Amino acid sequence: MKMTFRWYGEKDCIPLNYIKQIQGMTGVVTAVYDEPVGAVWSLDKLLHMKKLCNDAGLEMEVIESVPVHEDIKLGKPSRDKYIEAYRQNIINCGKAGVKCICYNFMPVFDWFRTNLYYKHSDGSTSLSYSEADFCKLDRKNLRLPGWDESYTPDELNGLLKDYEGMTHEKLFENFVYFLNGIMPACDAAGVNMAVHPDDPPWDIFGLPRIVGREEDYDRLFAAVPNPHNGITFCTGSLGAGRFNDLPAMAAKYAKRIYFAHLRQLKYTSGTDFYENGHQTAEGNVDIYSIVRALEENGFEGYLRPDHGRNVWGEDAKPGYGLFDRAMGACYLQGIFEAVDKDIEKENKNDTFQS
Ligand code: DNO
């Protein structure tokens, strides 16, 4: 496992040297943020970012994300042009030393929460989801928490119209077409693709979502078995689906998990939840069992703490403050150390007894 930390580039209010001061941190997870979706990232830009990271004593081996153009997800004729650009991005990332690219295949929206400032009794805040608030959203004039600047209302309505009639099957076909198009570039560049699960892992606003359950992954790997086709195992996204058995999934796919986002969430009803600090005791995600499943089954990927709370008066991008993610990174490293030593001890006992 390699511990990493998400860094939003030079505009991030968290300086690289602060990230370096979190013990055990090997690198950052970042992206080129000033290019539109579908553009080719120049090697110069990537090398500039890599130098900033390396000068701070950090690696830049994971990109999150190279976004997938909507035309690819929609299966429009223009998709081939965007797939070619994506291939070029993979090649350039490989040249800059990137080993893993995190991306998602969610139509229109990425992660979705109804509140970015859910208040905990201790004064900290985190992201949360409420079905009742979701139902109150005006679908004709969507203003989503955290997404308001992503599209103008006209663009958003246009996109939603383009997706009318899109089925799970058609979206999956388009996903496979995309992956088959980019796998040769991954083979050449030595880059692993790690698809991020849908968050939450169910359809929203009538848009199909196809990466969020065990059967989705089975179908995906059957269709595209290339070993560069892998997973970002995000416990917050998958965990929002009460139907997912996270330790079982971690065990089953450990070797395909090139990147893990470990975080906590607490269910407040059959549908609702809030995010919390990383500890198992703070929610419904059993971090110890997931780490154990990963370690027993050959996980060798990158890891990052994920959404934390805003604590100690920090006024950071919701989910992405320094303090709670730093605490999460330390907690997670403690769990990995304990799990690895438990396994080692048990293996020694087994050898002794046999
Ligand atoms: C949310 C993130 C996601 C993730 C993308 C990957 O905090 O985990 O936005 O970066 O889905 O493409």
Evaluate whether 108 touches 203 at the Cβ level (below 8 Å): no
In this predicted model, what pLDDT tens digit does every residue of 179-233 receive, in sequence order?
999 999 999 999 999 999 999 999 998 999 999 999 999 999 999 999 999 999 9
From the CB of 233, is ligand 1 less than 6 Å away?
no
Task: Give residue 285's domain range.
Answer: 2-353
CA of 151 to the centre of ligand 1 (A): 17
* Ligand 1 atom 6: residue of nearest CA: 103
pTM of this prediction? Answer: 0.96
Pairing mode of beta strands 100-103, 192-195: parallel
Ligand 1 center from residue 110 Cα (angstroms): 7
Catalytic, 261? Answer yes
Residue 199 annotated among the catalytic residues of the structure: no
Cβ of 104 less than 6 Å from ligand 1: yes
Active-site annotation holder among 69, 228, 278, 307 = 307
Confirm or reject: Cβ of 109 under 6 Å from ligand 1.
no
- Is 120 labeled as catalytic in the residue annotation? no
Average model confidence (pLDDT) across the chain = 95
pLDDT tens-digit readout, 250-287: 999 999 999 999 999 999 999 999 999 999 999 999 99
Q: Whose CA is nearest to atom 2 of ligand 1?
A: 111
Q: State in Å: Cα 153 to ligand 1 middle.
A: 22
Q: How far is CA 137 from the centre of its chain?
A: 25
Rounded Cα gap, residues 7 and 304, in angstroms:
11
Tokens of 190: 């030595």
Beta-carbon contacts of residue 82 (< 8 Å; ≥ 6 apart) = 38, 68, 69, 71, 72
pLDDT band, very low/low/confident/very high, at 155 (cuts 50, 70, 90)? confident
Question: Which H helix or E strand runs over 334?
Answer: helix 323-353
- Catalytic residue, chosen from 12, 82, 186, 196, is 196
Ligand 1 pocket, 147 CB below 6 A? no
pLDDT at 156: 85
Active site residue 306: yes
For residue 243, the model assigns a pLDDT of 96
Q: Largest alpha-carbon pair distance within the chain?
A: 69
Q: 121 — phi, psi (to 5°)?
A: -65, -20
Q: How high is the pLDDT of residue 80?
A: 98
Q: How far is the centre of ligand 1, averaged over its atoms, from the C-alpha of 111 (Å)?
A: 6
Q: Is 296 in the pocket of ligand 1 (CB under 6 A)?
A: no
What does the block give as tokens for 122?
A: 């201790």
Cβ 209 under 6 angstroms from ligand 1: no
- What number does the ligand 1 atom closest to the CA of 106 have? 11
Angle at 288 between CA 285 and CA 293, to 5 degrees: 100
- Per-residue pLDDT for 149 more than 70? no
Note the pLDDT of residue 147. 67
pLDDT band at 127 (very low <50, low <70, confident <90, very high): very high
Q: Quick one: pLDDT at residue 55?
A: 98
Question: How far apart are alpha carbons 6 and 123 in whole angstroms?
Answer: 24
| Alpha carbon nearest to ligand 1 atom 1, residue | 111
> What sign results for the dihedral spanned by CA atoms 95, 96, 102, 104?
negative
Domain CATH number, residue 199: 3.20.20.150
324 lines ligand 1 (CB under 6 A): no
Residues sharing a CB contact under 8 Å with residue 4, sequence separation 6 or more, in sequence order: 25, 26, 27, 28, 29, 59, 61, 62, 302, 303, 304
Ligand 1 atom having least distance to the Cα of 320: 7
Residue 307 phi, psi (nearest 5): -40, 125
**Residue of the CA atom closest to atom 3 of ligand 1:** 111
DSSP 250-267: HHHHGGGEEEEEE-EEEE
Give the integer Cα–Cα distance in Å for 181 and 177.
6
User: Which of the following is catalytic: 103, 306, 324, 331?
Assistant: 306
Nearest residue to 301 via CA among 252, 216, 219, 230: 230
